Amino acid sequence: MTVHQAPLLTDLAQDPDAAAPFRWADFILPSTLQLSPLLELLIEPIGCLITCQRVELGLHEALVNAVRHGNAEDPHKRLRVRRILTPNWMIWQVQDEGCGIPVDARASALPDRLDANSGRGLFLIHQCFDDVRWSRRGNRLQLACRRPVSGADSQDPSMLR
Residue ranges covered by each domain of the chain: 20-103+120-160
Question: Is residue 63 within 8 Å of residue 116, measured between CB atoms?
Answer: no
Residue type, 137: R
Q: Residue 10: CA atoms inside 13 Å, Cβ hemisphere, count?
A: 6
Q: In degrees rounded to 5, what are phi and psi of residue 83?
A: -110, 125
pTM: 0.77
Other C-beta atoms within 10 Å of 70: how many? 24
DSSP letters spanning 60-88? HHHHHHIIIIISTT-TTSEEEEEEEE-SS
Per-residue pLDDT reduced to its tens digit, 31-65: 999 998 899 889 887 777 778 889 999 999 999 99
Question: Is residue 91 within 8 Å of residue 133, measured between CB atoms?
Answer: no
Strand partners of residue 30: 78
Q: State the pLDDT confidence band at 143, using cuts at 50, 70 and 90.
A: very high
Superfamily of domain 20-103+120-160: Histidine kinase-like ATPase, C-terminal domain (3.30.565.10)
| 6, pLDDT greater than 50 | no
How far apart (Å, rounded) are the C-alpha atoms in residues 67 and 105? 17
Per-residue pLDDT reduced to its tens digit, 86-100: 888 999 999 999 999
pLDDT given for residue 56 in this prediction: 93
pLDDT given for residue 161 in this prediction: 31
Whole-number CA gyration radius for the chain: 16
